[in-house]
Amino acid sequence: MSYEFCTTDAKDHILTVTINRPERMNALHPPANLELGEVFDAFDADPELWVAIITGAGDRAFSAGNDLRYQAEGGKRGPMPLGFGGLTSRFNMSKPVIAAVNGVAMGGGFEIALACDIILASKTARFALPEPKVGLAALAGGLHRLPRQIGTKAAMGMILTGRHVPAEEGLQLGFVNEVTEPEALMDRARAWAAMICECAPLSIRASKEVAYNGLSHASIEAAMAATYPGVKAMVESQDFIEGPKAFAEKRPPNWKGC
């Protein structure tokens, strides 16, 4: 499909989504957020797509977050049922998403990255939740996700100052998985996605569901005793048979995703 505020490319079970508002440093206004919500709805519903990568057009910005200029020019805010980038308020998608951060990831842009499962960052990437500097707060999940991902004290050091954190520090703090040269970023993102695609799709989805939903339980014992629909789907799938069979026959598995 053709989109107004992003581009998409699907190949080898991988969907690449590029936020395409470089003239606004890929900042997002309500129409763009709604469009990205539609993109990820379609991704989630397509059995042939197993992993998504999200990045920004150009080399300056992944996303500068909320398009404040749009608001200043009289643009209406409107509803964002699935949050920034169609991701920050999406809690039921078990397919993995990789953020390939190619520059500035500020405010809602950082919140999009935090809502992804893996963050790869160009050496030029910068991260921040600077909303307090303009009288706002990072209410699209950043104030909840960042402390859970890097610990309270490290997170509050970013949240209460709004300071910019370079990619290497993000790696040290633990919210970045890998830092790359700018020209290698998308190759590395595709390599990570390809590694995920080597695994059984339903096993990946079950693992993501258990890892995230298990955090809502007070103890490991309770988390392990809980019931997860993704695990049931995995156990009842053709791939649950194919995996051990391929191993015994010393051949690559032929995953069906069902």
**pLDDT average per 10 residues of sequence, the chain (258 residues):** 94 98 96 97 98 97 93 78 96 97 98 98 98 94 97 98 98 98 98 98 98 96 97 97 96 95
Catalytic residue among 4, 38, 48, 131: 131
**Paired strand residues for 100:** 120
Which of these, 195, 209, 199, 206, lies nearest to 243 by C-alpha position? 199
Quick check: is 111 catalytic?
Answer: yes
State which amino acid sits at residue 167: A
Q: At what angle do helices 152-159 and 142-150 cross, to 10 degrees?
A: 140
Do 130 and 171 form a contact (C-beta atoms < 8 A)? no
Do 115 and 87 form a contact (C-beta atoms < 8 A)? yes
Q: How many CA atoms lie within 13 A of 167 on its CB side?
A: 21
State which amino acid sits at residue 63: S
Query: What pTM, to 2 d.p., does this model score?
Result: 0.96
Give the Å distances, CA to CA, from 126 to 2, 22, 23.
30, 16, 18
pLDDT value at residue 76: 77
Catalytic residue among 4, 38, 73, 111: 111
**Distance separating alpha carbons of residues 75 and 95, to the nearest angstrom:** 33
Quick check: is 131 catalytic?
Answer: yes
